[in-house]
Amino acid sequence: MVRQHVNPLSRIHQLARPLPPLIELFADPSLPLHLDIGSARGRFLLAMAPLAPERNHLGLEIRRPLVEAAEDDRRRDGLTNLRFLYGNANVNLPEWLAPLPAGQLELVTLQFPDPWFKLRHRKRRVLQPALLLALAAALAPGRRLFLQSDVEGLITPMRQLVEASGVFELAGPEECGPTVNPLPVATEREAQVLAEGKPVHRSLYRRRAAPLPPLAELERHLDTRLEATGDGTDNRHDAAAD
């Protein structure tokens, strides 16, 4: 499976496109919500939605053809608790998340995002400080954020950002770890990586009852940490992204 990088900072992906409200998306908009950021072709959510009919499932993907294909499959399967939308998470999600009813966002998954390895490309990574704070504001205490990747150099700064916010606590190894997936469905990338005998790096966090830090403070902390550690400054796998 070849990764198809999309530069989220390109002009077309920076356009503001308001996402539809829940009432326009789901048969029962009052159900708890599972948000999958970077849903790709949608097969993970197409399998999850029938297994968890007590939730609505929303996939957000920046590659429009994948969204259209996933929506075709959703309609074919008659899944009214599932939708796929085209958008840039960092541009579209914060404004959409803000008016959600308190506690409705139950689970956020961010799985195998595009691996922008190099330090100078860190602004292209999906999990940016402003997005994390928007997610944290929408997640009630106890609600979950799940991250996984086959690239340790990518998930490390994601973990650093989440933990630097001070508003999440890490679940124990009995709930989530290299051999323990807290979800009943594997993504296509996950299945491929495991079939090749390679490791998958996972972290499950729960929202703490703690106030959000100022955005500027979190951005400074992350920049200082990344520059000090040099995470992603030179990696041959990122040559095509130059």
Q: Please give the backbone phi and psi of residue 215, each rounded to the nearest 5 degrees, phi first.
A: -60, -45
Contact 122, 232 (CB under 8 A): yes
DSSP state, residue 186: -
Listed in sequence order, the residues at least 6 apart from 208 whose beta carbon sits closer than 8 Å to its beta carbon are 141, 166, 167, 168, 169
Residue whose token pair is 């609600």:
143
Is residue 163 classed exposed, middle or buried when 0-12, 13-18 and 19+ CB atoms within 10 A define those classes? middle
Q: Are 227 and 119 in contact (CB under 8 A)?
A: yes
Give yes or no: 114 in active site. yes
Point out the catalytic residue in the list 72, 73, 77, 114: 114
Residues labelled as active-site residues: 114
